Structure 1
Amino acid sequence: MPSIRGGDGTRAFDAWVYEPRGGGVRGALLVLPGLHYLGPADPRLDRFNRILAASGVRVLCPFLPTFARLHVGPALGPDAIAAYDVLCGLADHPPQRPGVFSISTGSLPAAVVCARRSPAGWVAFGGYHDFAACVRFSLSGGQDGVSADPLNRPVVYLNLLRFMDDAPADTAPLERALRRFVEQTWGRPEMKVGGAWRVVSDRLAPTLDPVSRRVFLRATGAEDPRGEAGLRALTSAGDAFACMNPAPSIALYHGSSVIVHGREDDVVPVAQARALHASLCAAGGDSRLFLTGMYGHTGSSRFAVADAGRELRSMLGIVEGIARCAATRRN
């Protein structure tokens, strides 16, 4: 487990490296997780990385400190670059440059790496193009017939607290409660059904003082279900989240990319995939877009048997994209 010096040179964070067994290293991939408190320790991501390694690809997956705290911020890009450089410097590194695979909001640091390091390629799963639009989607409950994941709202509020006029002076207890809500609901799809998340919200709310409790209930959606308080805070934030705009980095990347997105993604709406793909094409890169009904944002989904042919074509394109991105070669 290498320790990586953060982009600002003052912090260190860990990463998990997955090595192929037997047959040597045929390619390398930096896997950038999205905003999740577990990072590479998420069992789903760990399993994915192990599968990649079994195919002959060396994988480095970092615990990005900002995402681990359930926040967004300007350190994401520099930290991802530092992780990429560590991957390039590992012993017995193959001659070709590593590729980048990003998940969800990991598309922002991935875009920065692509702009600054020219990797072999980039595969973005569930990535976004307009950060504010994703926030509005989450707060307002969805759009275009797709309901937003209710379990995502507390993290949005966590990042907007400093722009709320009625937030408590000491936000630490509130932040801890929001994190506990996330830890007790994420990865449990049954919590999305029939407002099952309310059990967790109702259990945690009484532990807070009245001011913090009011904000907490808005954050979970028990109150203010249309997210009006959060939307006002987003407006008050101004350009505070400009660091989460991938457009400047995308404009500098002219390499190959594969954009993969679930048609009914309930965290990052599918329109974001189309916008990301269009932006990469406009920058002059070779970008391919694959929309699938087999996967949502956090796991597998059902699809109609009649769509099997289309889904198979998408899956083949995705696998080919990963192989190209990792620059795999035959031994």
Structure 2
Amino acid sequence: MSAEFPSVRPRRLRSTPAMRRLVAETRLHPAELVLPVFVREGITEPKPITSMPGVVQHTRDTLRRAAVEAVEAGVGGLMLFGVPEVQDATGTEGTNPEGILQLAIRDVVSEVGDQVVVMSDLCLDEYTDHGHCGVLAADGSVDNDATLERYAEMAVVQADAGVHLVGPSGMMDGQVAVIRRALDAAGHQDTGILAYTAKYASAFFGPFREAVGSSLKGDRKTYQQDPANARESLRELAQDVAEGADLVMVKPAMSYLDVLRQIADASPVPVSAYQVSGEYAMVEAAAANGWIDRERTILETLTSIRRAGAEQILTYWAVEAAGMLR
């Protein structure tokens, strides 16, 4: 062979589907996927979320069916969000034992038991009439420590309902420690905490606000992280782990893959990432216009999140993607 031709040919390992499958460095599995689901109080039929095609606010009955479908697909977890009829200044329904989220937890656990990990959002934004993730001080700012008291109460009622993991997503300082103490004091030592460790003040959350009926005016930049910063995520990681987090989260996922990689490299506990509503909506919109191959794009985005270090991925495509993978 002439000397000018290469002897090292990486294309050999790309030559056939079987070869590419054999040498793939990153693999997706349905058990690594978590389906976020919304359950709304006071409706009799599922309500489509217009900015998230294919996603609905469930009734309690359709939520049960969705849970069974997820189990049958092999999905690893469900993250439950409650949408109450009544909101007030302190998010009273978030700590009502008969509130919609607590009822939904009981429904899902009674339907599927331990066949899937049942998780619950632990935050006040769905329940407050001002839409913030905590209790407001007199000057309109979010009162960190008053909010922690509410989070402790929420953790206990969610654990009482039977949830396996609580997901504190409000980005209050000290939230994991306060929740861990409250759970332990109430006899819920086995209820775990999925800490939203690096949650950014992101534009990609827009469609989610429709999904949970948020009343927010303004922004959450005083408590969610600045998108310009990565180093502080490692500080948050160290704090959450020291306070007792069982798993940690990066949210959003796709625009923060560098942060996800840094946290995955440093974390002594499992690392999750949330492919959020805006990320979902952009792909759906582009696919609806015929600009991208929808299924290929779904799997490519999930693979990128897994490749960056996520061991669990929260995605609205969880059930559909599980079907593609199987």
Output the TM-score relative to the length of structure 2: 0.36
Output the TM-score relative to the length of structure 1: 0.36
More helix by share: 1
